[in-house]
Amino acid sequence: MLSLLDLCARIDDGRLTPEGAVRLVRAAIAAREPEVGALVCVDPAPVVAAAGPLAGIAVGIKDIIDTADLPTRMGSAIYESWHPRADAPVVARLKSLGAAPLAKTTTTPFAFLDPTATRNPHHPGHTPGGSSAGSAAAVAAGMLPLALGTQTGGSVIRPAAFCGVVGVKPSFRLLPTVGVKCYSWALDTLGLFAAGVADAAHALALLADRPAIGRTHDGSAPRIGIVRQEFCAAPDPEAEAALGRAAAAAERAGAVVHDLALPARFGEAYAAHGTIQDYEARQALAWEYAAHRDALPPRLRAALDAAQGIETAAYDAARRTAHHARRSLKDVFSEDGPDVLLTYAAPGAAPAGLDQTGDSRFNRLWTLMGVPCVTLPVERTPAGLPVGVQVIARFGDDGRALAAAGLIERALRG
C-alpha cells in the first residue's frame, strides 16, 4: 500500500516531486484497476500543487461527494451525466492543502446496500464491502494513499476491515457533509481510508484543522473496555480471534484491558437505527423515488417502499431512544471508566461473492452515537482475507481513538 506520510516525507526532502508522486499513483492505477474496478473515473489532467502539506497526494473521492472537475454519479444511471459546478467543502479543503482529487471511487447506488462491481483486492471473488467500496479497495490495492468515504450504517469501518486498511469514521460533523448526497442527515458521516493509523491521523488532523488529532504517540497507556455487543448476533470465529489478539497486543503495550457489558439501553438504540435511517432516506431521496422509482436498484427500491409506512411518531420515539443512549454513553466513558472501547469491526472476513456488501451490525450503534471509530487490520484468514477490529472513543475525542489504535498497531507489528 502507498503510505501518505512516506510520500510526504519523500517530497519534503526532495527525493520525489509532487508531480512524480502523482505519476506513481497513476502507474499503480494502471497496474491494479483492471483487476479491482475501484474507480469510476480518473482526472486526465489534474492540477498538482507545488506546495502545501498534502502537495502531491492523490486522493480518491467517493462518488456521492461533489467535485467540480469530475462527474458525481451517485452509483446510479439516474445521475450518469451529472456534473456539479462546485466542490464539496471537504474537496475544497483538500485542494487548499495541496492535494489532488484524482479519481472518483465507486459507491453502491446512493450509498445503500445494492453492491458495486468492485472486487476485494485480496481475493477477487469476495466483496470489498460497501458502500464506500471503491475507496477502501483502492487504498488496499495500493492505488491511492488516501480516499474519502461516508458512513450511515457501517460504510467506512466495515469495508476498511474487509480490505485490510485503516478506516476512520470521525465524530459526527467533524467534517462537513455539505455537497455530499444525503441519505440520512442524522447519521451520514464523512470518513477516510489510509494505509496506516499515522497516515489516517495526519490526514484527518489536516482536514479538520485540528493538529492534536495527528499526535498518535502520546505515551500514555489507555484503559480499554472490550465490548462484544451481546444484543447483536455473534460474530464469526475469526472476528473473535482478531479481537482477542488485539486485546493481548494492547496489554503487551501497557494498556489496562477489561471486558465491558453495555447496558440494555444501547440494545434499544441499536434497534432504533433503522427507523431513523429509513425515515430520513424516504425524504432525502423523495425526488428519485417519485420520478425514477423503476430505475432504483432492488434493495434500495424495496427499502424506500417499506419506508413510506414509517410513522412520524415512530421516528420521534427512535430519536428519543438514541438521545438517551448518547447521554448514557457519557457514563460508560466516566472518569473511572475506559478511555476507549475495542470491539468487532465486522462479523468476520469479507463474504464470498459480489452480490452483497456484508453485515453492518457491529457498526450501526456507533454511527448512531456519533462517536469516533477507527478500523485496525489485525490478521488474515488462511484464504488471505483481512480481519480487523474497531477502536471507539467518546464524542469529540478522535485523537484518543487514533492514539489507542496506533498503540495496538505498533504492538501487533512488534
Q: Are 102 and 135 in contact (CB under 8 A)?
A: no
Helix (H) or strand (E) holding 12: helix 4-12
Q: Are 352 and 310 in contact (CB under 8 A)?
A: no
Q: What gap in Å lies between CA 121 and CA 184, rounded to an integer?
A: 29
Annotated active-site residue in 155, 171, 184, 360: 155
pLDDT at 397: 97
Q: Could you please report the per-residue DSSP string of 338-372?
A: -SEEEEESSSSSPPBBSS-----TTTHHHHHHT--
Q: Is 76 an annotated catalytic residue?
A: no
pTM of the model: 0.98
Q: Are 199 and 147 in contact (CB under 8 A)?
A: no
The set of cell numbers assigned to 263 is: 447496558
Annotated active-site residue in 62, 95, 169, 181: 62
Q: What gap in Å lies between CA 93 and CA 345, rounded to an integer?
A: 29
pLDDT at 221: 86
Q: Which residues of the chain have pLDDT under 50?
A: none
pLDDT digit string, tens, across residues 202-232: 999 999 999 999 987 767 789 999 999 999 9
pLDDT at 217: 75
Strand ranges across the sheet with 340-344? 39-42, 100-105, 58-62, 146-151, 189-194, 166-169, 373-380, 386-393, 340-344, 223-226, 256-259
pLDDT at 414: 86
Q: Are 91 and 66 in contact (CB under 8 A)?
A: yes
Q: Which structural domains are found in the chain, ordered by start? A: 4-214 (3.90.1300.10)
Q: Is 131 an annotated catalytic residue?
A: yes
Q: What gap in Å lies between CA 104 and CA 143, rounded to an integer?
A: 12
Annotated active-site residue in 76, 131, 135, 360: 131
Q: What gap in Å lies between CA 170 and CA 209, rounded to an integer?
A: 13
The set of cell numbers assigned to 367 is: 454511527
Pairing of the two strands 100-105 and 58-62: parallel
Q: Could you please report the per-residue DSSP string of 97-136?
A: TT-EEEEEEP--GGGSSS--S--BTTBTTB---SSSHHHH
Q: Please say whether the dihedral angle defined by the alpha carbons of residues 193, 387, 371 and 106, taken in this order, is positive or negative.
A: positive
pLDDT at 196: 98
pLDDT at 215: 84
pLDDT at 91: 98
- List alpha helices for 209-339, DSSP H: 237-252, 264-284, 286-292, 298-307, 312-332
pLDDT digit string, tens, across residues 242-275: 999 999 999 999 999 999 999 999 999 999 999 9
Q: Is 155 an annotated catalytic residue?
A: yes
Identify the DSSP state of 399. H
How many CB atoms sit inside 10 A of residue 183's CB?
Answer: 23
Cβ contacts of residue 159 below 8 Å, gap of 6+? 128, 129, 130, 131, 132, 133, 135, 136, 137, 149, 167, 193, 357, 358
Q: Are 203 and 93 in contact (CB under 8 A)?
A: no
